[in-house]
Structure 1
Amino acid sequence: PEQIGQPFVGLLDQDQLLDRVGSTDPDEAFAKLVAEARSGAEMPARDWRWVASNGSLQTVSMTLSAAEIAGTDQMGFLCVARDVTEQRASQELLVAALEKERTAVERLRAVDTAKNEFVSTVSHELRTPVTSIVGYTEMLMDGSIVEPDPDQVRLLETIARNAQRLIVLCNDLLTLSGLDSGNINWQAEAVDLTAGMSVVEDSVAPLISGRDLALTLDAPDTPVLVTGDRTQLERVMINLVSNAVKFTEDGGVIRVRLEVDGDEAVFSVTDTGIGIPIEEQGNLFQKFFRTSTAQRQAIQGTGLGLSIVASIVSAHGGQIKVRSAHLEGSTFTVRLPLRAT
């Protein structure tokens, strides 16, 4: 009621009015404000700041349209206004929250990039001296420099074994860094998984030497061809079999099988080892995850192997699944699309 009899433009925030129409004079500002409506077109809805009777500002979505007064040559103007103050405030809060989240994501991405670069650099720098340690240790062991005493051979074997573990760790970190950053160049060649079974057998032979484990490998007599990176696919196969050896106690059995199922190559590793608790299997392919059983039994590992395996399989368009239970063994199954003929 306090606004009755006041100029229409008096309802509007004067600073905004000046900015939009270039004047705060009631007549001049009103003429400019309704100029578009006079042409017969309805002005599109636009947010304006209105001044309430108590001096507070409200955000109002407003349209103006012209209407002729019947029987006269006069023209009137219809203003439809809707208070959207709370709605716009909510939208601004949402925009601010999204911007804050976007900034946080960018910072996390920058931190992740820096982490990958750091891991890659450190792994490269660490691998070089460790490789030298391995080389010189082998020279000391084979008598190239001086014939070692039996007690020294045992110590040198420990050095070589742990140095090899460090090299494997460096390679895993480099691979993981490359996978995270997308900097790995995958080869796309014909890979015979049947031939890969022989590589697996040769690679795990030192691991089962001196162990009471039954290892069987079953593969077709003909090539099983897929498209991909030979080194990385062999890494998948070796890693899964090595894990089976690591987590299976003496007296156990490990079965490795390669077969063709429709248009897929299927590689599976079954063991009678310590198994994986069902409630933990959802995290099995996460980086650095180690099962409670492995930790309780102090079985060595970094928790990187299966994460890398899953990433390699996914990059080749395949799938990896696990079937296991606590103390009931495990079966890991990898499915890869066969190479198109």
Structure 2
Amino acid sequence: MAVLAGGGIIGGSIMVWVNRAAAATRGAELRQLERMLQRRADQVDALSHELRTPLSMIKGAVDLLREGTPGPLTPAQTRFLHVVDQQCTQVIGLCESLLIQAKIEAGLFTPHPEKVDVSVVAREVVTAMRPLCAQRHQRISLDVPQVLPRIRADPMLLTQALTNLLSNASRFTTTGGNIDVRVMLVDNGVALYVTDDGAGMTQAERHRLFHRFATGRPLADGTGLGLVITKTIVELHGGEIMVHTASTRGTTFLLTLPHGS
């Protein structure tokens, strides 16, 4: 009996040692993974900076030329500079999206919530988007309640999410189309609708939503990162994002955000 008891004690000690060793190994692997993700985020950050800096300088030079420095431009030169400006803006936006996505995957993308009036955020984003929509002869409307309780949210991230949705709507709405933004109070928080009357999506395109580089359109029309980032932002706030779409019948994105604590 003494031998058996001793064996039991030894066996139990071995199991404790094995469990501790396994936990230490998992901890070391987790720390190594965190370091790898941090390095990747740092690399993407550095790459984005290296790309954004020359592109920003090019945009600055284009702006000076379009303002008439050093002299007036021909119509052809004006058109060429407009193309350069648009392409620079698109690539700079892609750099920003790649950086945000890298931070998401590294676990470094965290909201800093405060009391926010979603109606105010919606007005600011719609106002900022009006010039782009005007260039495409698109009409953008906003419907918000007169009084809306504030919710706990990160205003910068919320602005990013709504800007992504409106940019997406403008990109896939025809020239002369309509984009409607509506903010509503619901039982558990605030709902935000973004509706366009564009081409809509097929069922196959709908299933590919919220995946990187899956837009259902040529890559030149977008990378799909905007919707991935928007979904992440909404979920970090404890909310949900849904989409209703049909081919040739337009698309509606619905964001729901809880009141928060």
Could you report, residue by residue, the CA deviation over 1:116-171 in whole angstroms, capped at 9, with x for unpaired residues? 33222100111111111111211111124333333222221111111111111111
**Cross-structure match for 2:240:** 319
Q: 1:137 to 1:286 in 2, by over 3 A?
A: same
Matched, 1:233 2:233: no
Return the structure number with greater relative CO, CA threshold 8 A, min gap 6.
Answer: 2
Equivalent pair of 2:191/2:254 in contact (CA under 8 Å): yes
**1:138 is matched with which residue: 63, 70, 94?**
63
Q: How many residues align?
A: 247
Matched, 1:265 2:186: no
**1:209 is matched with which residue: 109, 121, 134?**
134
Task: State the one-letter code of the partner of 2:153.
Answer: G
Task: State the one-letter code of the partner of 2:53.
Answer: T
Matched, 1:308 2:246: no
**Cross-structure match for 1:97:** none
1:321 shift after superposition: 1.0
Equivalent pair of 1:285/1:307 in contact (CA under 8 Å): yes
1:45 shift after superposition: 6.6
Matched, 1:275 2:196: no
**1:177 is matched with which residue: 102, 106, 122?**
102
**1:330 is matched with which residue: 243, 251, 260?**
251
The whole-number CA distance in structure 2 between the counterparts of 1:338 and 1:165 is 34
Q: Give the TM-score taking structure 2 as reference length.
A: 0.81
Over the aligned positions, Cα root-mean-square deviation in angstroms equals 3.0
Q: 1:324 to 1:304 in 2, by over 3 A?
A: same
**Cross-structure match for 1:77:** none
The whole-number CA distance in structure 1 between the counterparts of 2:260 and 2:8 is 60
Aligned pairs for 1:47-66 within 5 A: none
Equivalent pair of 1:310/1:320 in contact (CA under 8 Å): yes
**2:215 is matched with which residue: 278, 290, 302?**
290
**Cross-structure match for 1:246:** 171
The whole-number CA distance in structure 2 between the counterparts of 1:201 and 1:42 is 75
1:325 shift after superposition: 2.5
Instruction: Give secondary structure in 1 for the equivalent of 2:184.
Output: strand
Matched, 1:165 2:90: yes
Matched, 1:149 2:70: no
The whole-number CA distance in structure 2 between the counterparts of 1:214 and 1:156 is 26
Could you report, residue by residue, the CA deviation over 1:201-236 in whole angstroms, capped at 9, with x for unpaired residues? 222212222435343211112244222221210111
Equivalent pair of 2:126/2:140 in contact (CA under 8 Å): no
Instruction: Give secondary structure in 1 for the equivalent of 2:221.
Output: coil
**1:116 is matched with which residue: 34, 38, 41?**
41
For structure 2, the 5+ residue unaligned runs are 10-25
The whole-number CA distance in structure 2 between the counterparts of 1:230 and 1:140 is 35
The whole-number CA distance in structure 2 between the counterparts of 1:194 and 1:169 is 27
Instruction: Give secondary structure in 1 for the equivalent of 2:57.
Output: helix
The whole-number CA distance in structure 2 between the counterparts of 1:250 and 1:312 is 29
For structure 1, the 5+ residue unaligned runs are 1-33, 47-100
The whole-number CA distance in structure 1 between the counterparts of 2:81 and 2:241 is 39
The whole-number CA distance in structure 1 between the counterparts of 2:206 and 2:36 is 29
Aligned pairs for 1:180-191 within 5 A: 180-184=105-109, 186-191=111-116
Task: State the one-letter code of the partner of 1:122.
Answer: L
Q: Give the TM-score taking structure 1 as reference length.
A: 0.64
The whole-number CA distance in structure 2 between the counterparts of 1:141 and 1:208 is 21
Equivalent pair of 2:150/2:259 in contact (CA under 8 Å): yes
| Percent identity between the two aligned chains | 31
Equivalent pair of 2:148/2:185 in contact (CA under 8 Å): no
Equivalent pair of 2:111/2:237 in contact (CA under 8 Å): no
The structure with the largest strand share of the pair is 1
The whole-number CA distance in structure 1 between the counterparts of 2:64 and 2:5 is 91
Q: 1:216 to 1:108 in 2, by over 3 A?
A: same
